[in-house]
Chain A
Amino acid sequence: MKESLLDILRCPLDKHELELEDATYDESVDGDSDDGEDAAEVVDGTLVCSECGERYPIEDGIPNLLPPDMQEESPA
């Protein structure tokens, strides 16, 4: 997930902004260029709603922003 996507991603519940915590980055992507902020690629971390505090995982580069009670897989 590109870090710059934080500009448009929101909490699915209350649509407030998300803060990135505990991020690990893809070190093969140059995050120090002029365009560094756009280029930084988040591999794992947590997106936290600035309003309600709900936490959403980023796993292997893909954020899971499903509403919390849709996050868990239901038993088969």
Chain B
Amino acid sequence: MAAPHDRSQDRADRAAVRDTYDQIATHFAKTREYAWPEVESFVADTVGDHARTNSRTEMPPIGLDLGCGNCRHAELLADTGHFDHVLGVDVSRGLLETGRERAQEREFAVDLCQGDAAELPLAANAISAAVYVATLHHLPTQAARQASLDELGRVLAPSPDGRALVSAWSTAHDRFDEDEIDTADGTGFDTTVEWTLPGGDTVDRFYHIYTPEEFEQDLAASSLAVLEWEVSSGNCYAVVAGAAGSDV
């Protein structure tokens, strides 16, 4: 368990990530027009079977896009018609505003909430299906990343009801030269990737680049149950279920 000081430093680091995305939100969202095919497959193949009234809590089916950005994946969940609510959660208010615009332009319903992926403001077992895509790798410490996987396990409906897709950027991406990656201990590395705004200004964005082994280990150490996982287009993906024995 982290000491109070560490916890507060951890939050300060996560607030700094939030500030980065507030700064680049409008331009960033414009470059994130299309849903990823891996997410489309998950929504098409898995979500329908699990979007049902939660057998433990008798809550109506609720979908979650965690780290929703401009809500391109919340839109996929909403378009299934399976959910009473689709919730988009993001740390950046600026990105949430781009999600609201997209929902208005493209006429889908999403409920927006500003929140931190490592300390989710959601009830246990409330979520029938979730996508947690390209967000985990922005959390600046291992403790925060591990906490966020546990939090996803907490809010997902217990197995067999809840399902989520988790993805993170990995060392398998062809942008990274594998010979230069020191993965002797099996873990990935921290880096920053520049974002260039239309005026030419650049903003550094934090990434933790996972090795596939580390991604698998962090999931195994979490409260989530891993059902499938793969490396695709340089990202690690896992289909996960909520913990079977979690208490309501």
Q: Report Cα–Cα, A8/B62, bound state, in Å.
A: 9
Query: Scoring A residues 57 to 76 as 1 if CB is less than 8 Å from chain B, else 0, what string do you get?
Result: 00001111111011011101
Inter-chain contacts of A15 with B (CB < 8 A): 123-124
Q: Which residue of A lies closest to B109 (CB)?
A: A2
Give min CB distance, B156 to chain A, whole Å.
12
Selected A-B contacts with CB under 8 Å, 6 pairs: A2-B111, A9-B121, A9-B123, A12-B120, A66-B18, A70-B15
Q: Are B119 and A12 in contact (CB under 8 A)?
A: yes
Question: Do A74 and B19 have beta carbons less than 8 Å apart?
Answer: yes
8 A Cβ contacts from B1-47 to A: 8, 11-12, 14-16, 18-19, 22
Total residues of chain B contacting the partner, CB 8 A: 31
The chain B residues found within 8 Å of chain A, CB to CB, are 8, 11-12, 14-16, 18-19, 22, 59, 62, 85, 87, 91, 93, 96, 100, 111-116, 119-124, 126-127
A5, B109: Cα distance in complex, Å: 13
CA of A13 to CA of B20 in the docked complex: distance in angstroms?
Answer: 24
Q: Is A62 touching B96 in the complex (CB atoms < 8 A)? A: yes
